[in-house]
Amino acid sequence: MSISKRRKDSGDGRNGLRQSKAKSRKYILDDNTKFIITEAYKTARTNLMFSLSTSDNKVITFTSASPAEGKSTTCINMAISLAKTGAKVLLIDSDMRKPTIHSLLRLEKTKGLSSILSGMCTVAEAINSNVRENLDVIVAGTIPPNPAELIGSPNTAELISVLRRHYDYILIDTPPVNVVSDSQLYNSLVVGMVFVIRDNVTTHTDLQRALRNISLANGKVLGFIKTACQSSGNSSYYFKSYNYSYDYSYSQPADDEDDED
């Protein structure tokens, strides 16, 4: 696994990597997505499914070390890719501090995870059904003053237990692990996490700190997805688990890669 030792900066740190939501939406998988990108996600999907094949628990969190590393877009695209297999998939935005999924998928944000956990609405009222074929979505909802307390409450465990009866896969987008501890609160409820890293942005120090935090919280990393890789002048998507790795390149400047959380 190749990770840049030095962060590529745009003048104002990670804020320079951020893009408008409108620009970021073009990186969501659809019928117009380049073949090589779709195939890269299919390969990552196959590897993820293989990792989960012996587990009855198909609930997975997605996280990264820091903001602006492509975490949310990667989580959305993996959910879309899994749904294309015919599996029933639920995508949950649990980044209640800085939600993104509602904007990227053009969904209303009023009712969502925070609403369910605080008892303000039912699960059925918060689910956006068939956003894509076989894909349902629960957005983050109104930003609460106490996201960690909500996630750590018994309501979350009860919610996940209920949802597991209705979906083949549940993917949860969580905040960066080096910023807040929210993602670690799911460790006892999920089979593991997928860790998103960005080429020339995520540093060895970032990754080491993140993996240390995850280990201390008894978390399990299923594998890594690296975005905005550069290989012979091209960008690529890259998936690496502890047993397998795949790297597919496509001709598009790395600077055009998604920069959302």
pLDDT for the residue numbered 68: 87
Residue (of 155, 31, 170, 154) closest to 93 by Cα position: 170
pLDDT at res. 140: 97
* Annotated domain spans of the chain: 28-256
Helix (H), strand (E), coil (C) string for 42-63: HHHHHHHHHHHCCCCCCEEEEE
pLDDT at residue 150 greater than cutoff 80: yes
Mind listing the pLDDT tens digit for each residue in 184-218? Answer: 999 999 999 999 999 889 999 999 999 999 999 99
**How many whole angstroms from its chain centre is CA 128?**
18
Higher-pLDDT residue of 234, 178: 178
Residue 252 has pLDDT above 50, yes or no: no
Q: Structure tokens of 225?
A: 């997805």
Q: How far apart are CA 135 and CA 132, in angstroms?
A: 5
Give me the CATH code for the 28-256 domain, please: 3.40.50.300
For residue 235, the model assigns a pLDDT of 42
CA–CA separation, 80 and 117 (whole Å): 25
pTM > 0.85: yes or no: no
Q: Which residue, among 85, 63, 27, 248, has the nearest Cα to 151 in the 3D structure? A: 63
3-state helix, strand, coil in the chain (%, to 5): 35, 20, 45
Q: What is the mean pLDDT of residues 27-35?
A: 89
